[in-house]
Structure 1
Amino acid sequence: MEPIKFWEFTGNVCAGLGYERPRIKVPAVAVLPVAHAIQWAYNLLGTYGMKLPVLIPSRIRLLSGNRSFSCAKAHERLGYTPIVSLEDGLKRTIESFSHLNAENQPKRDGPSKASLYLGNGRVADTLLWKDTKKTLIVLLVLMGIYYSFISSNSTIITATSKLLLMAAIFLFVHGRLPEKIFGYKIEKIHPSDFYWTEKKSYQVAHVLASFWNVGINILESLCKGKDWLVFLKVVLSLLIIGFIGTISLHSLFVMGVPTTFLGFYLYEWNEEALDGLVSDALSYGYKLKSQIIHKVTGPKLD
């Protein structure tokens, strides 16, 4: 029996069950920090009913090991000769696990949660790689913005003027292009695309007014000095804003863009596991919040 590599064997199993072979390879070094964070969360929340996650360091090391399956040593020392070939054995194994076949799995009805969170429109198609061409174009534009403005350490006014200059050149050149080039139709940008309708303007104004009223209500609550929960939320929010403010635009762009494109894509494929993890974390957070409030405010006296 010829030796076979682990991932080749795994790919054959996936293909036999009707699933797509793994194509994307992520370095273990990049995944291990995430796995350690998930393991830490499990150690913290396991006592509250959190299930053992799939992505843990031990499994990453198991999957990333460079090894092959071979019975050469058994043949050499014991005279073992396999009765069933690897292909036949794999076929029989897959047939015995027919309930795991892709055709027998429940189909998802409607769009995913990630798509709904993103508005189930062009933004969702771009970030979730539904339209690969559009996603690649957006990534190229972001790379151009990064190398032209962010990495060059330009001031805000200089970067804005460069961006507007590039936009003006693009719009002018795009407007002079013919409707078809080599048989490909060029979609023209209509001036009305830049106008805000009265309804949209009202919605934006309504949102701004709502935020303003929420801020006024928070200030009013702080002035009374009675609601500890509001006070803790304000302090925590300001600390987070202060932390974000210390991050440079360069670091924010470098971390934010890959996280956005990969985060929603991975969430779409692991909705149940991630939702369960978030639910467990929120449950623990609510319990911790109750304990803190109880200690701060003290027991109520009748």
Structure 2
Amino acid sequence: MGGEEKWCVVTGGRGFAARHLVVMLIKYGMFSVRIADLGPAIKLDKDEENGVLGEALKSGRAEYVSADLRNKAQVLKACIGVVVVFHMAAPDSSINNHRLHYSVNVQGTQNIVDVCFKLKIKRLIYTSSPSVVFDGVNGISNGNESLPYPAKHYDSYSATKAEGESLVINSNGSNGLLTCCLRPSSIFGPGDRLFVPSLASAARSGKLKFIIGNGNNMYDFTYVENVAHAHICAERALASEGAVADKAAGQAYFITNGEPIKFWEFVSLILEGLDYERPRTKIPAFIVMPIAYMVEFIYKIFAPYGMKVPQFIPSRVRLLSVSRTFNGSKANELLGYTPIVPLQEGIKRTIDSYQHLRAGVQRERKGPSKAELLLGNGKVAETLLWRDIKQTLTVLAILAAIYFNFIATGFTFVTSLSKLLLVGSVFLFIQGKLPQKILGYKIEKIPESKFHVSEAASHHIALSVASIWNSAVRDLKSLCKGNDTTFFLKVVLSLLLLSIIGAVSPHNVFAIGLPLIFTSFAVYDKKEKAIDKLALKALSFGCRLKSCTTAKISNRKKKQ
């Protein structure tokens, strides 16, 4: 840095891509860097303490400021004395909270623009997203910047990002401010706390065995250092004098690695690099869509209580099965951007940075969750908590078949049972007639032993039935004595509950009860602490209400 010291500010400076930009700016020595983020103070990771960032903070070449974009006074304080703003702050896209996204992506961006005008800041580079031109349904192949915003975005994050992008582009040229917007596609690399960790977690729990769609959908993934490099290229282009800056300013740019790859091939390379098996079984998207719609319906019910957007909803299923590739020639021509790290090298660096997530690496065991304990920590828990996706989907398919063939038809219990036995008999007969191999595929025969009940098992069943009977007789004797009022109330309540359950039609059990069971336990497993906290609050409120009511009744009695 020659001459007068120049400062830049990076909003959301502790985010994934922003951290890499901060380090790159410090290394290049172009500016002193002000890191703006929500935290009251900066907390460095171990590798940062003695690295480029730690040294810069000690020497004064970098500083941290706590700032909430929704507070204009804090934004003003963060931007005083800077010549460039790299606006990278954005809320978590997985929380589909329109109010939050609008307040940050739109109102926060407007605050940035207003402060830039007031302080006569020269350049503003806004980090947007390719999702601003994605409708959540139709794929994009080699899309360029002429693509319009869709009539309706698939989530609030994309919609508000598009609004923020429009604000920045429309502010170009006012009060001497030059702006541009970057749309980096599917960022990956070291320091990512979402994409790779979620892949490893899903693979570890057996949830990544399937390919959604035909597996041929193409994607543009962008290594995080290339994203940081693109921001610096954009700033240099706007800082140039004359025609270069005039052409570059007021534009949006797709940023990619320039190496489109099949989405599922990319996922497989990451998984194999971490010693997990690549997904191989292909499931057409239209088959999983009904389940995705059901999950989305459950989400809409629980969203007001803090439930995050599930991964398995229709828009996410489409993201996994459609192509999203973009043409980066405009960024190359007007910003001078070309990737500095090739895709394969980026994948290698990413894998090397996540050695702690490799398959087989010992992790601290936290024990079974409360949901697992409630369900017996066995096959039922694995199914209802979606631990084994294949097993859960198999059970759902069987239940769906039972519903559509025996419940929805309106048959009586006897008729349904006879139909079920008929289908079973036909299946067993045909399966027994099939040859050992068909077109090279081995047909697994059901052995006779599967239907045989051993003498020991029969004896155990008989003892269990006798034990239940004797226990029931003891309870009846106790009831006949009339001494145990508590036990009597328990019996009455149990029978009332049984009568209520008996009044529920099989149709309602399948249509309402089963989806509720398959989602409620899974939700509790993920949100155990939040739900327990809410339950404690409700219990506490109930206790206070009871105390107040009791006190009021007592006071009235005293007055009488």
> Cα deviation per residue 1:96-152 (whole Å; 9 max; x = unaligned)?
xxxxxx969x73366656556656555444333333233323222211211111111
How far did 1:233 drift?
0.6
What is aligned with 1:202?
459
CA–CA separation in structure 1 for the residues paired with 2:443 and 2:384: 23
Query: Residues 142, 192 of structure 1: CA spacing in aligned structure 2 closer, same or farther, 3 A cutoff?
Result: same
> Cα deviation per residue 1:154-212 (whole Å; 9 max; x = unaligned)?
12221111111111121122223344455554332112112222333233223322222
Give the share of equivalent positions with the same residue, in percent: 42
CA–CA separation in structure 2 for the residues paired with 1:188 and 1:122: 24
What is aligned with 1:193?
450
Superposed, 1:241-280 pairs within 5 Å as 241-271=498-528
1:64 to 88, 91, 97: 97
What is aligned with 2:400?
143
How far did 1:225 drift?
1.4
More off after superposition, 134-143 vs 235-244: 134-143
Corresponding residue SS for 2:393? helix
> Cα deviation per residue 1:54-105 (whole Å; 9 max; x = unaligned)?
xxxxxxxx85326343343124322266999869xxxxxx89xxxxxx969x
Query: Residues 260, 176 of structure 1: CA spacing in aligned structure 2 closer, same or farther, 3 A cutoff?
Result: farther
TM-score calculated relative to the size of structure 1: 0.56
Superposed, 1:72-91 pairs within 5 Å as 72-79=109-116
CA–CA separation in structure 2 for the residues paired with 1:273 and 1:193: 44
What is aligned with 2:418?
161
1:237 to 490, 494, 498: 494
What is aligned with 2:170?
none
Aligned partner letter, 1:73: Q
Query: Residues 115, 202 of structure 1: CA spacing in aligned structure 2 closer, same or farther, 3 A cutoff?
Result: farther
What's the C-alpha RMSD, in Å, of the aligned pairs? 4.6
Aligned partner letter, 1:171: L
Superposed, 1:174-193 pairs within 5 Å as 174-181=431-438, 184-193=441-450
CA–CA separation in structure 2 for the residues paired with 1:145 and 1:281: 38
Query: Residues 123, 223 of structure 1: CA spacing in aligned structure 2 closer, same or farther, 3 A cutoff?
Result: closer
CA–CA separation in structure 1 for the residues paired with 2:532 and 2:511: 26
CA–CA separation in structure 2 for the residues paired with 1:161 and 1:220: 39
Query: Residues 173, 266 of structure 1: CA spacing in aligned structure 2 closer, same or farther, 3 A cutoff?
Result: farther
What is aligned with 2:551?
none
Query: Residues 227, 84 of structure 1: CA spacing in aligned structure 2 closer, same or farther, 3 A cutoff?
Result: farther
What is aligned with 2:391?
134
Query: Residues 182, 129 of structure 1: CA spacing in aligned structure 2 closer, same or farther, 3 A cutoff?
Result: farther
How far did 1:274 drift?
5.7
Q: Which runs of 5+ in 1 are unaligned?
A: 10-16, 18-61, 88-93, 96-101, 289-302
TM-score calculated relative to the size of structure 2: 0.33
| RCO comparison, higher one (Cα < 8 Å, 6+) | 1
How far did 1:247 drift?
1.0
> Cα deviation per residue 1:258-289 (whole Å; 9 max; x = unaligned)?
2332244334434556677789999999xx9x
Aligned partner letter, 2:511: V
- Larger radius of gyration, structure 1 or 2? 2
Aligned partner letter, 1:248: S
More helix by share: 1
What is aligned with 2:470?
213
Query: When the two structures are aligned, how many residues end up with a matched partner?
Result: 222
Matched, 1:225 2:482: yes
Query: Residues 175, 259 of structure 1: CA spacing in aligned structure 2 closer, same or farther, 3 A cutoff?
Result: farther
CA–CA separation in structure 2 for the residues paired with 1:199 and 1:113: 34
CA–CA separation in structure 1 for the residues paired with 2:502 and 2:423: 28
CA–CA separation in structure 2 for the residues paired with 1:168 and 1:114: 37
Query: Residues 178, 132 of structure 1: CA spacing in aligned structure 2 closer, same or farther, 3 A cutoff?
Result: farther
Query: Residues 155, 208 of structure 1: CA spacing in aligned structure 2 closer, same or farther, 3 A cutoff?
Result: same
How far did 1:222 drift?
1.8
Query: Residues 164, 268 of structure 1: CA spacing in aligned structure 2 closer, same or farther, 3 A cutoff?
Result: same
How far did 1:218 drift?
1.9
CA–CA separation in structure 2 for the residues paired with 1:239 and 1:84: 66
Q: Which runs of 5+ in 2 are unaligned?
A: 1-8, 18-44, 46-94, 129-190, 193-200, 202-355, 358-362, 547-560
